[in-house]
Amino acid sequence: MEQSDSQRMSTGKVVALAVLIGVFVSALLIGMLSLASKNISPNILGEATASSGVVGVYIVAGLGIAVDAQHNKIDFGAMTRGSSASTVPPLAAFLNSTSNATNATGFMPFHIRNMGTEKADVEVCASPLWNSTQRIPSDYQFSVTDSDPRIPTMDACTLTPCFNKANSQILPQSMPVTCPKGALAVNDLNWEDPKDEAIVHIYVRVPADETLTAKNSIVTFSAVAASTYPVPIPTGQT
């Protein structure tokens, strides 16, 4: 039986639709197979099989000062008005450096150490020790040195310098009571073991009108960059 024009058109649409569906299904299957092949075979030519990243760390220098736990307190005991005392070693200490007797060793100084990772200038300041109206700067002083015969465990700074002694405060100087701002005590204190230590001596004199009671002063040591106190240029040099 001969189909009408309308029937032929309907048949053509069905065939065209079937062809489109077939093309779509084929494309979908090809895509799925392609994805599967990538997952199953990651070493296909052109695929990255390994890569790398970078972790960067920049180490910065650190500053830090510590007071040795065995030499972090100075107790001058009972004193009378007008009397003086210091931590400078008495002659007996030099003659018998291994003695632990109080009358031989005298009052022990502060023993400080550079705990940072670069050279440092060390500042010192303190809270007021005296409240007398007649007190003078020399009533409370400090100085630094590179050895003490009473501390045999200290670094041998006299053999290998631990700091710039010429530019450090090796003579008694008035203790600044202006914390947190201090005064230079030790210049260019090394940080490498075993040449990173210093001794700080304390000198006191009781003012004539000081009140009769216990006195205390907190001494603070602070590390600052070594360039804070540059070494002065000798006279005649440029």
**Segment 9-37, tens digit of pLDDT:** 444 454 444 444 555 545 554 555 454 44
Digit-coded pLDDT (tens) for 216-234: 999 999 999 998 887 665 5
Place of tokens 């053509």: 12
* Position 48 pLDDT exceeds 90: no
pLDDT at 97 over 50: no
Residue 33 pLDDT: 47
Judge contact between 140 and 129, C-beta under 8 A: yes
Is residue 129 predicted with pLDDT exceeding 60? Answer: yes
**Residue 155: what pLDDT?**
93
Phi-psi region of 199 (alpha: psi -120 to 50; beta: other; left: phi over 0): beta
Rounded to 5 degrees, φ, ψ at 202 are -120, 140
Output the pLDDT for position 76. 94
Average pLDDT over residues 164-168: 94
Average pLDDT over residues 84-100: 69
Report the pLDDT value the prediction gives residue 55, as an integer from 0 to 100.
Answer: 87
What residue has token string 């030790």?
186
pLDDT for 106 equals 85
- pLDDT tens for residues 145-159? 999 999 999 999 988
pLDDT at 140 over 90: yes
The rounded percent of the chain whose pLDDT value lies above 70 is 70
* The pLDDT of residue 74: 95
The three-point CA angle 139-144-149 to 5° equals 110
Q: How would you list the strands of the sheet with 183-189, edge to edge?
A: 183-189, 120-126, 219-225
The more confidently predicted of residues 43 and 78 is 78
Tell whether the model's pLDDT for residue 94 goes beyond 50. Answer: yes
Per the CB < 8 A criterion, the answer to whether 134 and 209 are in contact is: yes
CA distance 164 to 231: 9
Residues 6+ apart with CB under 8 A from 115: 64, 65, 66, 191
Check pLDDT > 90 for residue 38: no
More confident residue, 45 or 199: 199
Residue type, 43: N
Is residue 104 predicted with pLDDT exceeding 90? no
69 pLDDT higher than 80: yes
For the chain, the average pLDDT equals 80
Q: What is the pLDDT of residues 187-213, one digit of tens each?
A: 999 999 899 999 999 999 999 999 999
DSSP the chain: -PPPHHHHHHHHHHHHHHHHHHHHHHHHHHHHHHHHHHHH-TT-TTS-----------PPP---EEE-GGGS-----S--TT-EEE-SPPHHHHH-TT---HHHH-S--EEEEE-SSS-EEEEEEE--S---TT--GGGEEEEEES--TT-TTS--TTTS-SS-GGGS--S-EEPP--TTS-EEEEEEE--STTS-EEEEEEEEE--TT--SS-----EEEEEEEGGGSPPPPPTT--
- Furthest CA-CA distance within the chain: 142
